[in-house]
Amino acid sequence: MRFVFAIWALVPGAAQADFDYWDYSDWRVTVETFDTGEDLRVNCTASTGGDGVPSLRIDVSNGDALPPHNYPVPTLHEFAPRGYDTVMQDGQRVLFEFDPGNLTEGYVTAGFDNHGIKQASARAGEGDSLWLLQTMRQADQLWITLDGEVVYGASLAGFTAAYGKIAEQCGFSTAGVIN
């Protein structure tokens, strides 16, 4: 399913930006395209979760160093209601696990956003990006754990199609991950 939104049409004087949206089983893709005045920028996100629970996301832009030179890093994002703390704390070690012995570690960065909302993100090391993406394509579930407790369980149903769509939209090759 695809939706297209032209936000600039709603706000007089706003820069032109278009948003596209696709659903792939448990994953969704959003693409924001806008003119910076110097070039056309495309921001692509593949994600699962959210709606009050953490979300696992892959964020890329056509201005980034992209595959096959630099693979995006799947990142777990957590937001807390105002006045509350996040489960993940700054500097903590997390594990991205598929099954016993099939894992990689990552670390948490936590703080406040511009609106005073506590947020935390956990990401694997950039050197593990390709392995993590390849394993996500082949697995059914990814568990992110903190001190042996599951912080988030991500369904990987639809991941391959979502990754392919962000590659198509942001202009990079799926080589090494999908083909």
The answer, yes or no, to whether residue 10 has pLDDT greater than 90, is no
Nearest to 47 by CA among 76, 6, 17: 76
pLDDT per position as a tens digit, 107-147: 999 999 999 999 999 999 889 999 999 999 999 999 999 99
Q: Looking at the domain assignment, is residue 176 inside a domain?
A: no
51 lies in which domain range?
A: 2-170
pLDDT > 90: percent of the chain = 75
Mean per-residue pLDDT, 13-27: 83
Q: Decide if 27 is inside a domain.
A: yes
**CATH code of the domain covering residue 118:** 2.60.40.1880
| Residue among 113, 44, 45, 43 at smallest CA distance from 78 | 113
Exposed, middle or buried: residue 155 (CB in 10 Å: 0-12, 13-18, 19+)? middle
Name the residue type at position 154.
A
Give the CA distances from residue 9 to residues 16, 30, 39, in Å, rounded to whole numbers and listed in that order: 8, 19, 20
The total number of structural domains that make up the chain: 1
Report the DSSP pairing between strands 27-35 and 40-49.
antiparallel
pLDDT for 97 equals 96
User: Is residue 116 assigned to a domain?
Assistant: yes
What is the distance in angstroms between the CA of the first residue and the CA of the last residue of the chain? 24
- Report which residue type is found at 178: I
Task: Name the band, by pLDDT with cuts 50, 70 and 90, for residue 178.
Answer: very high
Domain-embedded: residue 178: no
The whole-model pTM stands at 0.87
Q: Does a structural domain hold residue 149? A: yes
Identify whether 124 is part of a domain. yes
In a domain, residue 39? The reply is yes
pLDDT for 51: 87
